[in-house]
Amino acid sequence: MDEGGGDAEVEPPVAVDVPEPGESGEPGDTGDDAARAAVRVRLLEAAPEAVRAKVAELVAVAVGNLPVSELPPPVRPVARFAPAKRARVGAGPLLGALGSAGGFAAQVVEWWAEERPGDWQPPVPDPVHAAAVAVLEGREEGSGLVRDVGERADAGRARAERDAAVARADRLEADVERLTAERDAARAAVDAAAEEGREEVAKLRARLREQGVRVRRAEDEAAALRDAQEAGHGGLRAELEELRRDRDRQRELAAAADDRARRAADDLASARRASVEARRADDARLALLVDTVAGAAEGLRQELGLRRVDAGARPAELVGAGSGTSPKARVTDPAALDRLLALPEVHLVVDGYNVTKTGWPELSLAAQRERLVAALAPLTARTGAETTLVFDGAGITGVPTHSVRGVRVLFSDPGVLADDLIRSLVGAEPEGRPLVVVTSDRAVVESVRRAAHPVPSSVLLARLSRI
């Protein structure tokens, strides 16, 4: 076994030559004989636990100071344990090695006698220590010492058990006395309560008799009152019925008056709302027209390239034969569209599906609408033009009612074409405001040309492609 650690494999025990009884070794030889080994085994078997633990403690101290190579193989791993662990964990191998005749016990005794004689034979007698020393030395008189320690341990246990039994008996007697006192107190309380209960019952019975007399008197008075009530009940019932009929008539009249008042109030509120809405629409149109005329006069002159005429020139002199009013010219290029959108207060009206089906026919209708709105938003933000995007409302659910990214999106009502909605938008604008209608529908173009500038869908798509 390697002496460097305690986890190496334990060497198997080896045979030891035991000298015959009566033989002796060299002078001073400390080797055990078979007789002493047998005495140790017998004493260890008869020893109480305290003596065995003391023997293991003495052997563990000596083993920690003896050369490992001189120890029996089963003891060598225990020698490498910590001192506190050696006697507790290695007690089995240590005590087992004492029963051999190989001289291990003599080594332990010799070490104690030489190294620590004062601890081996302490001045103050200790029965357990003396018995342990006798076991290690293999002396026959150790039987009496071991027996004395055992008897003392048994006597101590008996005294402890007797004291515990006496204490339990004392506790039980105290409990019996306490419970007896509690029982007597409970009985006294029950007797007192019973006496009080009998008195209370007598009082309750007397009170009950008084209450019975009062109840009978009250019943007689109630019977007399019922008779008097029955006597005058007929007239009161007729009067009550008349009062109920008057009440119902008053309620009907009040309900009719309230209904007429509500209808009058509703009519008045409707008239006021209609008046306010009409006035608001007129004010909005007038204000828009004034702003348009005031802001666009100079811009129109520059945009249309009008030259200032001489002071003597008059409009009548510029009208030639065959001249007359003509529709507004079609816009054919994105530059002209930009010039129109630069006019103050310009209104751009777009025929939605006419543009999207020209530019992105492969997309779904919903995707076409989203793409056109997304494309018009930057143009609207850049030019500041009022922009209205019109779609057919057939088959559309969940129509949005607000502007999207600055673009007003309108859907025609069921049964109404988007073309008619565009004509209505153009007709609602005041005369003189710049209007631009984007569509390739010839019928729409012809119907709005005298009020708006028509722009083909392809021109708007070309302009949007540059954003």
Whether residue 47 is contained in a domain is answered as yes
User: Residue 443 has which token pair?
Assistant: 């019928």
On the question of pLDDT at 404 being above 80, the answer is no
Whether residue 158 is contained in a domain is answered as no
From CA 403, how far away is CA 237, in angstroms rounded? 70
Cross-strand bridge partners of residue 351: 390
On the question of pLDDT at 424 being above 90, the answer is yes
Q: Which of 84, 72, 55, 92 is nearest to 16 (CA)?
A: 72
On the question of pLDDT at 13 being above 60, the answer is no
Pick the last residue of a domain from 140, 162, 177: 140
CA 333 vs CA 356, 379, 461: distances in Å: 18, 16, 11
Q: Which of 309, 449, 466 is nearest to 382 (CA)?
A: 466
Whether residue 396 is contained in a domain is answered as yes
> What pLDDT, on the 0 to 100 scale, is given for residue 297?
65
Report the pLDDT averaged over residues 427-432.
90
> What pLDDT, on the 0 to 100 scale, is given for residue 23?
36
What is the SS3 assignment for 5? Answer: coil
Buried b (16+ CB within 10 A) or exposed e, 101-126: bbbbbbbbbebbeeeeeeebeeeeee
What is the SS3 assignment for 46? Answer: helix
Least reliable range by pLDDT among 296-310, 356-370, 448-462 = 296-310
> What pLDDT, on the 0 to 100 scale, is given for residue 401?
46
On the question of pLDDT at 21 being above 80, the answer is no
pLDDT tier for residue 123 given thresholds of 50, 70 and 90: low
Q: Does the predicted TM-score (pTM) go above 0.85?
A: no
Whether residue 80 is contained in a domain is answered as yes
- Check which CATH number belongs to the domain holding 337 and give it: 3.40.50
H/E run at residue 391? strand 386-391
Pick the last residue of a domain from 140, 162, 197: 140
How many Cα atoms sit within 13 Å of 433 on the Cβ side? Answer: 24
pLDDT tier for residue 285 given thresholds of 50, 70 and 90: confident
> What pLDDT, on the 0 to 100 scale, is given for residue 397?
63
Whether residue 160 is contained in a domain is answered as no
321-363, pLDDT tens digit by residue? 333 345 777 888 999 999 999 999 999 999 999 999 999 999 9
From CA 166, how far away is CA 276, in angstroms rounded? 109
On the question of pLDDT at 289 being above 70, the answer is yes
On the question of pLDDT at 127 being above 80, the answer is yes
> What pLDDT, on the 0 to 100 scale, is given for residue 204?
86
132-153, pLDDT tens digit by residue? 887 777 777 766 677 777 667 6
Whether residue 94 is contained in a domain is answered as yes
Whether residue 20 is contained in a domain is answered as no
User: Residue 371 has which token pair?
Assistant: 């793409």
For residue 108, what are the domain limits?
A: 34-140
On the question of pLDDT at 452 being above 90, the answer is yes
pLDDT tier for residue 226 given thresholds of 50, 70 and 90: confident
Check residues 276 and 459 and name the one with the higher pLDDT. 459
**Ramachandran class of 20: left when φ > 0, alpha when ψ lies in -120 to 50, beta otherwise:** beta
What is the SS3 assignment for 375? Answer: helix
On the question of pLDDT at 398 being above 60, the answer is no
Whether residue 218 is contained in a domain is answered as no
Least reliable range by pLDDT among 12-16, 184-188, 196-200, 423-427 = 12-16
Pick the last residue of a domain from 87, 113, 140: 140
> What pLDDT, on the 0 to 100 scale, is given for residue 316?
31
Report the pLDDT averaged over residues 405-418.
89
Most confident residue range from 78-92, 117-131, 267-281, 414-428: 414-428
Least reliable range by pLDDT among 38-47, 106-115, 140-149, 178-187 = 140-149
The DSSP 8-state label assigned to residue 2 in this structure reads: -
79-121, pLDDT tens digit by residue? 788 877 887 887 788 888 787 756 788 888 888 878 787 777 7
> What pLDDT, on the 0 to 100 scale, is given for residue 453?
95
pLDDT above 90 covers a percentage of the chain that reads 24
Number of domains in the chain: 2
